[in-house]
Amino acid sequence: MVKIRLSRGGAKKRPFYQIVVSDIRKSRDGRSIERIGFFNPVATGGEERLRVDRARAEHWLQQGAQPTERVAKLLKDAAKQAEQAPAAV
């Protein structure tokens, strides 16, 4: 089965996560099928907190990929960001 999940990177006490499509048999930070975005939980100032290629995420969801709970919430947040961005411009 294929999952959309977070892969951890970054320094100690300063996590940075890649949002990846991966086979469930692979380790968390192991080889992934595709990288579709990133999440920076400790973003400050002008740093970008979340970026997701929503088209690719939708493609994988249609193919049967299951997002983890956290990734499902992040995809929902990304959809809200996309709705607000055109209204602000």
What is the pLDDT confidence band of residue 5, given thresholds at 50, 70 and 90? very high
Kindly report, residue by residue over 59-75, the tens digit of the pLDDT: 999 999 999 999 999 99
Q: Which helix (H) or strand (E) holds 62?
A: helix 54-62
What CA–CA distance (Å, rounded) separates 12 from 35?
22
Say if CB 61 and CB 78 are below 8 A apart: no
Cβ 23 vs Cβ 30: under 8 Å: no
Structural contact between residues 5 and 71, judged by C-beta atoms closer than 8 angstroms? yes
Q: Domain holding 34: CATH number? A: 3.30.1320.10
Segments forming the whole domain that contains residue 67: 2-88
DSSP state of 53: -
Q: Based on the structure, what is the number of domains in the chain?
A: 1
Residues 21-61 have pLDDT tens digits of 999 999 999 999 999 999 999 999 899 999 999 999 999 99
C-alpha dihedral sign at 28, 24, 3, 73:
negative
